[in-house]
A and B are shown apart, each in its own frame.
Chain A
């Protein structure tokens, strides 16, 4: 047997392995371009009001790890995620909420019915600040420390994912 005969087989195996890995990647998981960057400069009003809800300065002033969650009352996965956000609040996490392209009345109704897991809520009715953050769908959650974006999670956070993926990241940041 010549060694040459195994080369096509070896190439086939390599290609299969590469394609198999590629097939298992989640195409919905687009890495954020802003990891390790400071949060984009913004200032958003409170829901249904003129006063400032919170701004990039507020996020920068936090020296503990905080979460910024983009949500909307019209977003079905946000309802799925909500009970877990309530749990995170109980566990002492500070979550800033940005209501994305939502009417004030609907956002308020959502919070009244589902509970309020947020430390502060601001409204991005035009969705422009969210675009600056690289948001491409709701819900999305960012992990921030000292105003720097450490991690982004697209889609609803499930408890298991939070324990397995996000807790280790938070712990490594806190060290």
Chain B
């Protein structure tokens, strides 16, 4: 058991799990490096489009990683570093599209669909309810009921 456990710990500590562009120099300050890597995860590799530049092996992704680190070293905040990229490659370089006029439908459509869904369920449930119409018994029916009840009591 202890053997398996230590193996598991070793596996989770493996450096490949943390591998970010093995080929390049990391920033000396771990906090800055963490920030840089956080930004890299938000940036799309333009060559292999659904990967971030962290995941991609493309030469361009490597260059962009180096640039992100340079921007951080130059004292850019996150927003400035990202806008360095969007000014060259457009919003498309961001894996998460910004919330603005052009993307409002994209962002709000899940909520809209949910509301429409609830409305449809509400409507169909309402239609399914059978309406009970309770009419008072006629005089004849009432006397029959009374008769039956009397018989039952007699037993």
A residues contacting B by CB (< 8 A) are 27, 30-34, 101, 127-128, 131-134, 136-137
Contacts of B63 in A (CB 8 A): 127-128, 131
**A137 and B49 in contact, given A31-B90, A31-B92, A128-B63 (Cβ under 8 angstroms):** no
In the complex, the answer to whether A33 meets B46 with C-beta atoms within 8 Å is no
B49: nearest residue on chain A (CB-CB)? Answer: A27
> How many pairs of residues, A versus B, come closer than 8 Å at their CB atoms?
37
Contacts of A32 in B (CB 8 A): 90
Chain A CB within 8 A of B60 CB: yes
In the complex, the answer to whether A34 meets B92 with C-beta atoms within 8 Å is no
In the complex, the answer to whether A134 meets B59 with C-beta atoms within 8 Å is no
Chain A CB within 8 A of B47 CB: yes
In the complex, the answer to whether B47 meets A137 with C-beta atoms within 8 Å is yes
Contacts of A137 in B (CB 8 A): 46-47, 60
Chain A CB within 8 A of B86 CB: yes
In the complex, the answer to whether A131 meets B64 with C-beta atoms within 8 Å is yes
In the complex, the answer to whether A136 meets B47 with C-beta atoms within 8 Å is yes
SS of B interface (majority): helix
**Shortest distance between the CB of A60 and any CB in chain B (Å):** 19
A150-B63 Cα distance, complex, nearest whole Å? 26
In the complex, the answer to whether A131 meets B46 with C-beta atoms within 8 Å is no
In the complex, the answer to whether B88 meets A131 with C-beta atoms within 8 Å is yes
Interface contacts beyond A127-B60, A131-B64: sample of 18 additional A-B pairs, CB < 8 Å, sorted by A:
A30-B46, A30-B89, A31-B90, A31-B92, A33-B89, A34-B88, A128-B63, A128-B67, A131-B63, A132-B88, A133-B88, A134-B88, A134-B89, A134-B90, A136-B46, A136-B47, A137-B47, A137-B60
**A33 and B90 in contact, given A27-B49, A137-B47 (Cβ under 8 angstroms):** yes
Contacts of A31 in B (CB 8 A): 90, 92
A148-B64 Cα distance, complex, nearest whole Å? 25
Chain A CB within 8 A of B87 CB: yes
In the complex, the answer to whether B87 meets A136 with C-beta atoms within 8 Å is no
In the complex, the answer to whether B67 meets A131 with C-beta atoms within 8 Å is yes
Contacts of B92 in A (CB 8 A): 30-31
In the complex, the answer to whether B86 meets A136 with C-beta atoms within 8 Å is no
The contact sample of 13 A-B pairs, CB cut-off 8 A, is A30-B46, A31-B92, A32-B90, A34-B88, A101-B59, A127-B60, A128-B67, A131-B60, A132-B88, A134-B88, A136-B46, A136-B89, A137-B47
Interface centre among A33, A101, A137 (most CB of B within 10 A): A33
Contact of B60 among A27, A34, A133, A136 (CB under 8 A): A136
Contacts of B67 in A (CB 8 A): 128, 131
Contacts of A33 in B (CB 8 A): 86-90
Contacts of A101 in B (CB 8 A): 59
A32-B64 Cα distance, complex, nearest whole Å? 17
Q: Which 5 A-B pairs have the closest CB atoms?
A: A136-B46, A33-B90, A134-B88, A134-B89, A30-B92
In the complex, the answer to whether A30 meets B47 with C-beta atoms within 8 Å is no
Interface centre among A31, A34, A133, A136 (most CB of B within 10 A): A136
Which residues of chain B from 87 to 106 have a CB within 8 Å of any chain A CB?
87-90, 92
